[in-house]
């Protein structure tokens, strides 16, 4: 009896499978590269040092990723992917808000601030600023894949809250932009450009203040309640 054929995978269609070990090794290289670039800067980092950090031979890096510029671009994109995943998870507090919306906004705001101030997020921003002139297209790409995705997800959550009468806004994109600005705007000064660890109590205070200001503009009007 003839068995039905299962759909071909992308690797089968290309005529070759990608070994799991190769994927893991590439990920290890990218993580090691990001750590090295964050510690030394792009100009002072070398492929030999990255190979040592990843525990692989120097030719292995060239086989997987080619030259140093490609390695930097891919390491930055991988780091941006990790950080945006954490940021999106922080918005889960706004998926199913029960009762007063303030508690949901404060929870999400605190989680976003924790994400914004973690070591990898801060290192990513520092590297982007330092190398923007050398890699201008990378800045735009990471903003689209990272910051834009986070903004759009927040706008979607705020739009749903507005539809349910928990907020008052006809422009959730603007509301999302302003809420993120209220949260992250004070952090460069408070963290001294990422050189100071901001205590959790201070993050919570910044979050509460941001929510207070945000709700003065976007709380439901009496006619909406």
- CA angle centred on 54, ends 125 and 83, rounded to 5°: 30
pLDDT of residue 96: 81
pLDDT of residue 22: 62
Task: Give me 192's structure tokens.
Answer: 């001294």
Question: Which residue matches tokens 């963290």?
Answer: 191
pLDDT digits (tens, 9 = 90+) for 26-44: 899 999 999 999 999 999 9
Q: What is the pLDDT along the chain (225 residues), one digit of tens a residue?
A: 444 343 333 333 334 444 545 668 889 999 999 999 999 999 999 999 999 999 999 999 998 888 999 999 999 999 999 999 999 999 988 988 877 899 999 999 999 999 999 999 999 999 999 999 999 899 888 888 888 999 999 999 999 999 999 999 999 999 999 999 999 999 989 998 888 899 999 999 999 999 999 999 999 987 644
Using CA of residue 178, residue 183, residue 189, residue 192, what is the dihedral sign?
Answer: negative
Nearest alpha-carbon partner for 105 in 211, 11, 30: 211
| pLDDT value for 13 | 33
Q: What is the pLDDT of residue 14?
A: 37
Q: Which residue has the tokens 């982007």?
A: 128
**Cα 13 to Cα 15: distance, rounded to the nearest angstrom:** 5
**Residue 76 · residue 84 · CB < 8 Å:** no
Give per-residue pLDDT as tens, 199-210.
Answer: 999 999 999 999
Residue 79: how many other CB atoms lie within 10 Å: 25
Token code pair at residue 4? 């039905």
């Amino acid at each position: 009896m003839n068995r039905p054929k299962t759909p071909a995978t992308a690797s089968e269609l290309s005529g070759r499978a990608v070994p799991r070990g190769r994927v893991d090794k590439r990920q290890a290289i990218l993580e090691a590269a990001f750590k090295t670039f964050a510690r030394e800067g792009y100009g002072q980092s070398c492929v030999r040092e990255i190979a040592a950090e990843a525990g692989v031979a120097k030719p292995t890096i060239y086989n997987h990723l080619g030259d140093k510029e490609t390695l930097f671009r891919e390491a930055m994109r991988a780091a941006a992917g990790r950080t945006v995943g954490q940021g999106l998870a922080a918005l889960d507090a706004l998926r199913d808000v029960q009762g007063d919306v303030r508690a949901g906004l404060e929870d999400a705001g605190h989680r976003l601030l924790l994400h914004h101030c973690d070591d990898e997020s801060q290192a990513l921003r520092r590297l982007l600023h330092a190398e923007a002139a050398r890699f201008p297209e990378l800045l735009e790409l990471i903003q689209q894949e990272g910051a834009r995705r986070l903004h759009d997800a927040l706008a979607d959550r705020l739009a749903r809250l507005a539809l349910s009468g928990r907020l008052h806004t006809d422009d959730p994109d603007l509301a999302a932009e302003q809420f993120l600005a209220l949260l992250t705007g004070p952090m460069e000064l408070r963290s001294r450009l990422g050189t100071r660890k901001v205590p959790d109590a201070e993050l919570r205070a910044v979050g509460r203040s941001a929510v207070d200001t945000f709700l003065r503009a976007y709380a439901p009007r009496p006619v909406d309640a």
